[in-house]
Structure 1
């Protein structure tokens, strides 16, 4: 094997196979191979976070569930306990929907925020809840809370356990669907689309001021104007969103302010608009999962003849017809990006049949899925390094699976997650989730050993 010594992209010394050194003449003549042969370092952080924040973030994704799954005995009934468990598992950051429009949007919702009734998706004809087989939507409801008080309780608990918080809004994506009343959704939906980013920025400004007054400013790791702007009821980020990010950054220059993409344009990152204060991108590979979803047509709505024969072969024997399953309240379909076919399919799928198909088919997709994770992580990290911004992978790695499916928690899913985590670390990503499903409201939370191992890897990682 040749031993190259390269300076500024030119070969200055070469030991060839027979042990002679090329000096630019004779059989061992050196060749200029171009600067592309010299790799730039990628292991250092893509951009420096504020000095008061941790050097790396190990993030657990609590989304809106910290207030929609607070039923007695639920995973977030006791916020201090949930924060203590997260810290014990090695996490140092929590990403949430802080509901800025409800709490500080100036939309006439103050009374609702002080006495918010959580219903979930409602009760099906069989007496059980809609969303019972889904992740995130399996909320039984049946309680009321003061959400503003609960926000400050969460910050207090996070402070006691050494956690920082990444704040986002899921309100134009799904948060209001869990309320018993459509008032929250109706109020934000009445905001003209062209004004929605401005209203969000104003709400965030008021929330930041309130959190600062309560002594929690340094606990804010990041503010995202909105979660997954490309999959929400919002205009394109370039159509006013990036300008509002800039304005919020000017109001709070010591904080990281940005917006997140559900599917970053990794093949054309130059199209991401200017003005973001951090790179917060989600990296899902889907692969074999997407192949199954297409076969069963589960993400569409209003498909004639749904469910098709293949989906019927995966359903539980006691699955009702779509008509007998019934429907959520009509306004709830408008308040979420999840379709009626997804709710029916996930509520009645046989998880074992689902997992069996994925496991049998995975080998064909494994290498493609690994490469897709790697290429997406490298792309968003390279963009962040180009912009000199801290980078975060706030969600990942496979995709949306049934609540009791174990594919993502099993050997294949954990292998892909570890590949994503290591790739992110090796490319200077500041913070990352272990998996979107590594949180108190998902079964993966029970795998304490794997979470501790991965969080230790993240927090103790050294670039040198």
Structure 2
């Protein structure tokens, strides 16, 4: 007599969900392997810089297995109707400026280590990027970092002051109007099918914007009505994973970021590096990690005052990252990681599953546009090394298993980061992404 299998409850049964969370447009790739070029594609275009040759950068991305790039397209500067047309066609890139010792501010940071010293026509450059993307089989995820940091790299405060003068309640409306004009310009140039996704703004929860529910979601819906063939959304830096029902209804894609700071957050709290105005900064814990030639905080000097208003990064963070000893930083993280390993893996897994489940409920494509650990010094190797690669692989495999359409190997996998040199790992991860079944 054959016994029937024991029934242990519906929670023990394998779910029926298969395939992507929601269908992307048919002309786009079945999966996206994304490299995060952010604003660096125009702020690191100095002679010999990582984006001096856009065609070469696109060619290399394709060679490494990427089929998508994610950028700040600066819609407010280019098409915001804010009196910035002349600046858009002759934008001077300065970076953060020169420190008292003659070096640049931001020298030890990621994204902010821009030497500047050149001018460009950003309107023209945007179309050049689309042309290069087309030649090398890449699609483009369009976003804006303008209410987060993009204008800080300009020599003039004009860009920041113009967007900052827009009343808070009107910012999403102005963004949507700018996107409409940008989309039409790209379309007229013959590149509409290159647009993989349009984000009203990057990380709306960590930008100088109201909550998405306070006017933003209406503008996403408006853009979707104007361009029903495109995927249009907004991205979250830290989506409400435990209460995804609170995400406003109307996003055309679930483009959410998955960072598990874990041990990194423990270090940041101990050295108080993300605050501003802390009495006695730097504290003893941070001083123990600084290079021996680090100047005092007052001797380090300060950026032009308007630049602090134009970015969400603090003065303490710039000082700490510019003068940290990367080896000491990495050693601390590796020594302490063991007690955080399991929770960081579980956090990445649970957040990815939450995002995918929400996207499947809404029948929209899911994208993890950024991840997996967090913001580390430029020359730190914790995320690029075995620990980071293990966490990235775990996140990517989880995302593929749960039907996420697009993702990147790591937020640091781009031409302006040292990880770009690890070609074998990027090719392997991108092959994993692009060969995963989509149904």
TM-score range, shorter chain: over 0.9
Shift of residue 40, structure 1, vs aligned partner: 1.6
- Map of 2:332 onto structure 1: 357
Judging by fraction of residues, say which structure has more strand.
1
Matches of 2:18 and 2:259 in 1, distance apart? 22
* 2:96 alignment partner in structure 1: 121
Quote the offset at 1:463 in angstroms.
5.3
The answer on 1:301 being equivalent to 2:276 is: yes
Task: Name the CA distance, whole Å, in 2 between partners of 1:299 and 1:380.
Answer: 27
Shift of 1:36: 2.8
Q: Which residue pairs with 1:345 in the alignment?
A: 320
User: Distance between the aligned counterparts of 2:9 and 2:321, measured in 1?
Assistant: 53
Structure 1 unpaired stretches of 5+ = 1-19, 24-29
In structure 1, the residue matched to 2:36 is: 61
Deviations 1:386-420 (A, max 9, x none): 00000000000000000000000000010000001
Equivalent residue number for residue 214 of structure 1: 189
- Alignment equivalent of 1:81, drawn from 56, 62, 66: 56
2:411 to 436, 453, 462: 436
Q: What is the alpha-carbon distance in structure 1 between the residues aligned to residue 66 and residue 18 of structure 2?
A: 21
Q: Hey, what does 2:78 align to over in structure 1?
A: 103
| Inter-CA distance 434–356: structure 2 relative to 1 (3 Å threshold) | same
- Tell me if 1:382 matches 2:357: yes
- 2-side partners of 1:46 and 1:456: how far apart? 20
Q: Which residue in 1 is equivalent to 2:298?
A: 323
Cα distance in 2 for partners of 1:41, 1:458 equals 22
Give the distance between the partners of 1:189 and 1:458, measured in 2 at CA: 39
Question: Per-residue displacement from partner, 1:250-290 (whole Å, max 9, x unpaired)?
Answer: 00000000000000100000000011000000000000000
Query: Structure 1 length as normaliser, TM-score?
Result: 0.94
SS at match of 2:170: helix
1:363-406 Cα deviation digits (max 9, x unpaired): 11111100000000000000000000000000000000000000
Secondary structure at the aligned position of 2:201 is classed as coil
Map Cα deviations across residues 162-216 of structure 1 (whole Å, 9 max, x no partner). 0000000000000000000000000000000000000000000000000000000
1:22 correspondence with 2:3: yes
Structure with the larger RCO, 1 or 2 (CA within 8 Å, 6+ apart): 2
For residue 186 of structure 1, the aligned residue among 161, 164, 177 is 161
2:239 maps to what in 1?
A: 264
Deviation, 1:39, is 2.2
1 CA distance for matches of 2:352 and 2:21? 12
- Select 1:415's aligned residue among 385, 390, 396: 390
- In structure 2, the partner of 1:157 is 132
Deviation at 1:44, TM superposition (A): 1.0
Alignment correspondent of 2:106 = 131
- Per the alignment, in what secondary structure is the counterpart of residue 258 of structure 2? strand
3-state SS of paired residue (1:177):
helix
Find the counterpart in structure 2 of residue 391 from structure 1.
366
- Does the CA contact (< 8 Å) of 2:30 and 2:438 recur in 1? no
Answer whether contact 1:225 1:258 (CA < 8 A) is retained.
yes
Q: What is the DSSP-based 3-state SS (H/G/I as helix, E as strand, rest coil) of the residue aligned with 1:36? A: helix
Deviation of residue 42 (structure 1)?
A: 4.1
Corresponding residue SS for 1:395: coil
Using the alignment, how far apart are the partners of 1:71 and 1:462 within structure 2?
40
Aligned partners of 2:138 and 2:194 also within 8 Å: yes
Q: Distance in 2 between the 1:56 and 1:237 partners?
A: 27
Q: Distance in 2 between matches of 1:415 and 1:41?
A: 28
Q: Tell me which residue corresponds to 2:223.
A: 248
2:11 to 36, 45, 69: 36
| Secondary structure, counterpart of 2:147 in structure 1 | coil
1:235 aligns with 2:210: yes
Once residues 47 and 102 of structure 2 are traced to their aligned partners in structure 1, the CA distance between those partners, rounded to angstroms, is 19
Q: Displacement of 1:31 after TM fit? A: 5.7
Q: Does the C-alpha gap of structure 1 residues 298 and 219 become closer, same or farther in structure 2, counting only changes over 3 Å?
A: same
Equivalent in 420, 425, 437 of residue 450 of structure 1: 425
Look at both structures and tell me which one has the larger radius of gyration over its CA atoms: 1
Secondary structure of 2:29's counterpart equals coil
Superposed displacement of residue 21, structure 1:
2.3
